[in-house]
Structure 1
Amino acid sequence: MSDLYGAPKPEPDMIKLIHHAINAGVTLLDTSDVLRPQNQRDPSRQGFERGDEGTKCSWLPNLGSSSMVPGRSKAIPPMSGLPAKPASSDLRSTALNLYYQHRIDTSMGELKKLVEEGKIKYVGLSEASASTIRRAHAVHPITAVQLEWSLQSRDVEEEIIPTCRELGIGIVAYSPLGRGFFSHGPNMLEKLEESDARKYLPRLQPENLEHNKIMYERINELATKKGCTTSQLALAWVLHQGNDVVPIPGTTKIQNFEHNIGALSVKLTPEDMAELESIASPDSIKGDRYGAGFKTYKDSETLLLSAWKA
């Protein structure tokens, strides 16, 4: 709904979509004040408190460049003088249900204080390595870790997923449709606006798409056999990872939302899962998730060291 995926969408339409999602049974709505303030503020005035909110802090724009830098504890408002919740969120609930660090910094102690003061209920991390998760969990229990997990982003299965499960931490899978790759296929770049950030992602560049479309075509063949679409099959694969996994596919259209909900009806056998994972092996995709300047879990320990030195 923000301006990262093209021009901002009309707010009345987005409010209508949020209402539709809540009425359909959606229980987790994910947002961030860095994406677009209206994503938090305007829906909240329209009854957004009926759902469970997950919002993020500590991802500060590096003004003057297209990169993002890690937030520090200053990204979280001072604790004193706040009557109910952090000022970085306009969501209407008495206490934020889940407050993530959008990128890793040294503010776990501050987040612990927010919980103790009743301003937030649970703490989450985003793009954190296994070692960072363990370090943060020792300061205060981490409730959820948000990470990119899809048939084209499976590197997190090596260390991060097992660590979360060992510690009893929920897993929130963002971009479960490969940022639209499994919805639109290898021709998706032709449909994107110039201002859409996805046009510049390495794995969606022509030199990589030519290779990556092989995966798409094979998954599409299996989807046809299952009587569903490629995107529904890709989303169903994430949904079948376990009850501790909650995917958060984004959409701006009610019809696409309904299409995503349809993935709940796609049942995959162990043989289906094995076939999908053979097609989409971790080394079967070409191109990085992000371009230069964007930090991921691979940088989280380095970010912590840099923040401490500063």
Structure 2
Amino acid sequence: MKFTQLPFPTTFFLLLLLLRSITGDNSDVEYDDPQHAIALNCGFLHNSTAIDGRQWVGETDSASITSFHGPGSKSVAPSSSNDHRSQSLDPTPYMTARASQSSFTYTFHVGSGYKFIRLHFNPAASYSAFKRSTAFFTVKSGPYTLLNNFTAFLPVDSRSLKSIVKEFTLYVPDDGIPLSITFSPLKAIVPWDETFAFVNGIEVVPMPTGLYYTMEGDGNADAGAYVVGQKCRFYLGRDTAMEMAYRLNVGGIKLSSVHDPSMFREWTDDSNHIIESTVFPNISTNKIKYTKTSKDSAPQILYQSSWSMNRSLQDGEGVSFTWKLPVDSGFSLSGI
């Protein structure tokens, strides 16, 4: 496991992302508003409402915007369990799943542009006819392998998590081909007739052009995201897909998707990652006046919290903020 250390001066607040590039093709697209977002409750036929009030579509009721192919797949529900983690989850989408010992594909009829793809898993539960220990699978979308040799059960058991959400960004090209997401059991891990793939929920959410990716067609040769601690910029084009590792609200509390009704992002608090003992939280109620930065970059509440360094430090004394963030090998750093 690799740890990434980040030094920053003075009072600091930001949305922090660690992103893994996935790579794979080459139009400026306006931001779709949130009613074009799709939240699919896998394994459930009809529309339902989550505890936070968000509407999730069922596999039958969403036929005009999604389609499904997977002979032999099953709609399954968690087996009755005394596991408090599973019992405390929102029934939508975590109390049903689509599972199969062969490949299955969801197809989403969405416009071209940059999208968030979120995959929801409830591995704290057991699913009838499927062994928890044999859920090893890959997830692919177009030219991208989003997950490879993935099992949700091991990290949930080792870290006592309730659920797992894997989030990606990618570009859907304007070529008339719909967005497809395929789940395939890995047959080489355990006996081929036992491995299975499953998913509880899928979100496909449009994102603004230029939010995380480099704006195109503006004639700016210096376009791109700034690299922390360097003068150069990093270009992120539409041929790159990324996986989100961390999204932190620096100095603040955890923010749920309710705080971000346009793109339904979540931020965790960073208190378990910052290692400085001389910092204190700084909370502001000032309203943000957006100029060059889009109001869609992050919810206003995120900009109202920060860490400040202890004011007793002498002038000229070295000041830095340091976070330690465990990441899998293959991740690169991007602070946005």
TM-score under structure 1 length normalisation: 0.25
Task: Choose between structure 1 and 2: higher helix proportion.
Answer: 1
Say which structure, 1 or 2, has more relative contact order (CA 8 Å, 6+ apart). Answer: 2
| TM-score (structure 2 length as normaliser) | 0.24
Structure 1 or 2, whichever has the larger Rg, is 2
